[in-house]
Structure 1
């Protein structure tokens, strides 16, 4: 699932290419993914001009100068192509925007789990995007101070990894980066939030900020150098999907537990 660094990478990539570019034509090719009638989607976007792309939580927003927005929630397998029209389309391409710079912007989703929404203006997002108004502050937002972070976590009592990945608590952290954040903070993923001291929660806040910042830099640089990926970059992660390898901090073996189709990796020695 794309998380903050992945979507920040897309945001940076598109903001070097899309603002000021016009949409010549738009087509919905898989209606089940686009939560608007395909004719309405195509007519609304034809003739629009891109403004600056932005992100909230695990949503990527494509605003236009008219105020309209296309909101993409990629879920597990949503990806983008920014390419020449002659390049072969992926089989699960859900929409295509033909641009006046000669390129196409495509969204494809191999599992068809993602969702694409069309809003007339920003004030309509809560009505158009389910649970939009329930989302917590973004993990990278300047408004998410340590005090606010701790306050929001204190609303929950369960396992700290589950709490971190709740969009209602803090938006943008998923399974992979929750492992990285908890390793950075030295906190066991199955510890209950109520067992953690204020000092531990402060470490966790610092880890969220640090991990999101360095991972975003890596992902954004790779996207710019290599182009949009077919899968999410994960080879820079220290513990996630590295079960059986040596912990980079203490050298102990990294544990791996699979529960509910979700993999959790952590170090039993240096995460308490």
Structure 2
């Protein structure tokens, strides 16, 4: 991580590309450094015409030569912004697993990696060392699509259930990417989630069976699921 004043370092520099690794947004600069943003649960990036004022929870605002601005807003103050010439120094960056959308993440590879974890299914899915890029919302969607209780312990899964989980991961992410590309356009700060099946839909009918969707809140995040389509019993957390 580079020392000194970040504003001084960025002034006059040019972004040469835009990339992503897992949940990290990568903005390489023309001097070899990289601006890295990890938005965590609630971070949003806005690119467009300048807003008239800074908003509460605006963590970073960059005025660009074309008159536009790049603004990072974090409603929960959980995200991180780094300026570095060595990505290995960014916490948790090098420990990430393969991309969740990587074609090489076959069922065999998925099963092997899954076998290294013993926690709850949802917790494993959101563990970035397992696979990179799955967050709270899409973990809920994947579990629902697979018909699996999110608090099931990984060792209890059968081979068929592992295959269903892998298939659900592929399907949910592919459909979400297609939907977001069609609907979001250049408004990258807009959160579009009305197409999701269960996440954020507590009390609404399950799209599959019609039963009201349940919600459990733990560790600053909500888990949504259908108790009929995803049967299971929460027996408390274990190590």
1:128-183 deviation per Cα after TM superposition (whole angstroms, max 9, x unaligned): x1122211112112332222111111011222111111111111112211110011
- The equivalent residue for 1:271 is 230
Which has more helix, going by share of residues? 1
CA distance in 2, matches of 1:265, 1:108: 25
| 1:38 Cα offset (Å) | 5.8
TM-score computed with the length of structure 1 as normaliser: 0.77
Cα distance 1:268–1:94, how it changes in 2: closer, same or farther (>3 A)?
Answer: closer
Q: Which has the higher contact order (CA 8 A, sep 6+)?
A: 1
- The equivalent residue for 1:198 is 159
Kept in 1: contact 2:44–2:72 (CA 8 A): yes
Structure 2: runs of 5 or more not aligned: 232-239
1:255-270 mapped onto 2 (5 Å cutoff):
255-270=214-229
CA distance in 2, matches of 1:112, 1:36: 22
- The equivalent residue for 2:48 is 83
CA distance in 2, matches of 1:243, 1:269: 14
| 1:228 Cα offset (Å) | 3.7
Cα distance 1:52–1:134, how it changes in 2: closer, same or farther (>3 A)?
Answer: same
Q: Secondary structure of the equivalent of 2:62?
A: strand
CA distance in 1, matches of 2:221, 2:104: 30
Cα distance 1:258–1:43, how it changes in 2: closer, same or farther (>3 A)?
Answer: closer
1:27-106 mapped onto 2 (5 Å cutoff):
37=3, 39=5, 41-85=6-50, 87-106=52-71
1:244-265 deviation per Cα after TM superposition (whole angstroms, max 9, x unaligned): 2222112233222223333222
Structure 1: runs of 5 or more not aligned: 1-34
- The equivalent residue for 1:20 is none
1:162-201 mapped onto 2 (5 Å cutoff):
162-201=123-162
1:112-131 mapped onto 2 (5 Å cutoff):
112-120=77-85, 124-127=86-89, 129-131=90-92
- The equivalent residue for 2:194 is 235
1:33-72 deviation per Cα after TM superposition (whole angstroms, max 9, x unaligned): xx75562x22332333222311111111112344321110
Kept in 1: contact 2:2–2:84 (CA 8 A): no
Work out which of the residue numbers 82, 101, 121 in structure 2 matches 1:160. 121
Q: Secondary structure of the equivalent of 2:59?
A: strand
| 1:199 Cα offset (Å) | 1.9
- The runs of at least 4 consecutive aligned structure 1 residues that moved more than 6 Å come to none
CA distance in 1, matches of 2:131, 2:27: 22
